[in-house]
Amino acid sequence: MKKRLIISLILVTIMSIALSGCSKQSTLSRVKKSGVIVMGTSADFPPFEFHKVVNGKDTIMGFDVDLANAIAKKLGVKLEIKDMDFTGLIPALQSGQIDMAIAGMNATPERKKNVDFSDEYYNSEQVLVVKNSSNINNLNDLKGKTVAVQLGTTSDDAAKKIKGIDIKELNRLGDAFLSLENGRVDAILMESTIADAYLKEYKDMKMLHIKEINEAVPGYSVAVAKGNQDLVNQINSVIKDLKDSGEYEKMLNKWMGK
C-alpha cells in the first residue's frame, strides 16, 4: 500500500510539473496574444536610440527603433518602448517587464548566461573622447586620469582592463559628457558610432582611436528572456530580410550617413 501511495505521489508531481511547463507561455505567444511587443532601451545612445521633440511630443527614435518597428511589423503587433537605465534591461527581461532589449547591447559570454541573443546586427569599436585641449594622446597618458564609462556596458568592462586609471561609472552617457565638459573626468571610453553622434554637439571634444583599447568584442544583438528561441528566430529573420532587401543599408545611411 505504501509503495502504491509513493508511486501515486510521484505521478502527481510529474503531472504537476508538466502542466506548469505547458501553462507557461513563451514571450512570442504572449506578444501575439496581447498585440503589443515591448522594447526596452536606454535612450541616450544616438544614433541608435535617443529622445527628440517631434511636433511638440517627446519621441524616442534611432536605428534600433527602426529595427524594433520592423520586428513588430513582421509579428503583426504594435511597438511599445520603455526607456530605462542600461543596467536595468536584463532584469526587466527576466521579470517580464519588457519583451526584448534593443540598446546597442553586445552579446558577451557573461550576458549570455542570463538572456538569449539574436544574430549580430551592428559592429562598433571602443574609442576615447577627450577635450580638444587635452594632453592625452595614447594609453600611457591615461595613467592617473579619471575615465568615465556607462555602467554595465562593454566600455565599462574594457576600462577595467586598463591599469593605472580611476573609473567613474555613470548610468547615462549624457552625464559622462557633462562630467568631461566640467572637468570632473579626463576622458570617456565609449563606442565610436555613439561618440560620432555626441561630438556633433560637443565641438570642443575629439575622438581618439587607441589600438590597445579597441579589443575585439561581439557586435550589437537583440536580447530576449532565456528560453525564447521562437522569438529569436523571428528577430533573426527580420535582420536577414533587412540586409537581403537593401533596407539595412538605407537605415545605416539614414542614421549614420554610411
Per-residue pLDDT of 137-152, as tens digits, reads 999 999 999 999 999 8
d(CA 177, CA 175): 5
User: Amino acid identity, residue 154?
Assistant: T
**What pLDDT, on the 0 to 100 scale, is given for residue 216?**
59
Note whether 197 and 247 are same-domain residues: no
d(CA 108, CA 215): 13
pTM above threshold 0.85: no
On whether the CB atoms of residues 126 and 106 are closer than 8 A, the answer is: no
76, three cell numbers: 503583426
Note whether 152 and 196 are same-domain residues: yes
Note whether 168 and 94 are same-domain residues: no
Establish how many alpha carbons lie within 13 A of residue 54's alpha carbon, considering only the half-sphere containing its beta carbon: 6
**What pLDDT, on the 0 to 100 scale, is given for residue 211?**
80
- Is the model's pLDDT at 11 over the cut of 50? no
20 in any annotated domain: no
d(CA 123, CA 166): 27
Query: CATH number, domain at 116?
Result: 3.40.190.10
d(CA 151, CA 159): 11
Choose the most confident range, by mean pLDDT, from 10-14, 16-20, 79-83, 107-111: 79-83
170, three cell numbers: 555613470
Note whether 139 and 90 are same-domain residues: no
Nearest partner of 177 among 46, 40, 62, judged by Cα:
46
d(CA 12, CA 6): 10
As separate numbers, helices (DSSP H) first and strands (DSSP E) second, the chain gives 10, 13
Q: What is the pLDDT of residues 221-242, one digit of tens each?
A: 999 999 999 999 999 999 999 9
**What pLDDT, on the 0 to 100 scale, is given for residue 177?**
97
Note whether 92 and 170 are same-domain residues: no
**End-to-end C-alpha distance for the chain, whole angstroms:** 76
d(CA 86, CA 28): 23
Note whether 110 and 137 are same-domain residues: no
Number of domains in the chain: 2
237 in any annotated domain: yes
**Mean pLDDT across the chain:** 89
229 in any annotated domain: yes
Note whether 131 and 244 are same-domain residues: no
On whether the CB atoms of residues 180 and 188 are closer than 8 A, the answer is: yes
184, three cell numbers: 570632473
246 in any annotated domain: yes
Q: 35 pLDDT band (50/70/90 cuts)?
A: very high
Note whether 100 and 148 are same-domain residues: no
Note whether 31 and 97 are same-domain residues: yes
22 in any annotated domain: no
134 in any annotated domain: yes
247, three cell numbers: 533596407
**What pLDDT, on the 0 to 100 scale, is given for residue 25?**
82
178 in any annotated domain: yes
On whether the CB atoms of residues 97 and 80 are closer than 8 A, the answer is: no
Note whether 189 and 69 are same-domain residues: no
64 in any annotated domain: yes
- Is the model's pLDDT at 23 over the cut of 50? no
- Provide the residue range defining the domain that includes 154: 126-208
Note whether 99 and 131 are same-domain residues: no
Q: 213 pLDDT band (50/70/90 cuts)?
A: confident
Note whether 154 and 86 are same-domain residues: no
d(CA 233, CA 7): 40
